[in-house]
Amino acid sequence: MFNLILFGPPGSGKGTQSDKLVARYGLIHLSTGNLLREEIANQTPLGIEAKSFMDKGRLVPDAVVIGMVDAYFDKHKGARGFLFDGFPRTAAQAEALDSLLAHKNTSIAAVLALEVTEEELVKRLLNRGKTSGRSDDTNEAVIRNRFAVYMQETTAVATHYKAAGKFEAIHGEGTVDDIFEAICKAIDSKMS
């Protein structure tokens, strides 16, 4: 298997690039944000619990997210690899992912981190909020809170994978295609 984490702050382009990467490399896209929004749309107990955190720009509790990822793995047993988008977001999630993958005799090949300035991120998110229907993208205070959470909790994920020698930064500003090519170059060098 080839397992990749696409890492970066809210609005850094993970969703956009994930769609293109999945098409090129045939990986299964695992976006915890998308899975959570699906649970909310279906008004499941998990979705109802998650919504109260997401609307404030806070993280959904680790146990909820990890359980959801575990269930998603079970649904995709023959996958040739996964592209993780928006997960892991805490050190505990990174450790849980490592052990879930170890059980499948596989591991993370690389963590590619999209780097974008905060001003550009706020611009992109407010813009996305105009059409996405995402309530967490329309309020600047909620957006700023998501950045604060990213700095406080999610940076630990970078530290975790830097220690394992798997972390690589990618310049996340420019055209979608240029960024995609930079990501592909990094992936191809890991695959060969």
| Residues classed as catalytic | 14, 89, 128, 134, 146
Binds ligand ADP (CB under 6 A): choice among 13, 33, 129, 172: 33
Using the contact rule CB under 6 A, the part of the chain among 16-24, 51-59, 156-164, 175-183 near ligand ADP is 51-59
Q: Which of positions 84-123 make contact with ligand ADP (CB under 6 A)?
A: 86-87, 89, 93
Report the residue number, 40 or 182, with the smaller CB distance to ligand ADP.
Answer: 40
- Under rule CB under 6 A, residue 11 binds ligand ADP: yes
Q: Say if residues 113 and 167 touch (Cβ distance below 8 Å).
A: yes
Query: Phi and psi for 61 in degrees, rounded to 5?
Result: -55, 145
Half-sphere exposure of 113 (CA within 13 A, CB side): 17
Task: For residue 115, give the H/E element and its range.
Answer: strand 108-115
Rounded to the nearest whole angstrom, what is the least distance from the CB of residue 159 to ligand ADP in the complex?
A: 16
Using the contact rule CB under 6 A, the part of the chain among 22-30, 41-49, 56-64, 70-78 near ligand ADP is 56-64
- Under rule CB under 6 A, residue 57 binds ligand ADP: yes
Q: Where are the alpha helices (DSSP H) in 7-77?
A: 14-25, 32-41, 45-54, 62-75
Rounded to the nearest whole angstrom, what is the least distance from the CB of residue 176 to ligand ADP in the complex?
A: 16
Binds ligand ADP (CB under 6 A): choice among 21, 27, 30, 54: 54
Q: Say if residues 24 and 184 touch (Cβ distance below 8 Å).
A: yes
SS3 12: coil
In terms of Cβ atoms closer than 10 Å to its own Cβ (0-12, 13-18, 19+), residue 48 is: exposed
Contacts with ligand ADP by CB under 6 A lie at 10-11, 32-33, 36, 53-54, 57-60, 65, 86-87, 89, 93, 136, 146
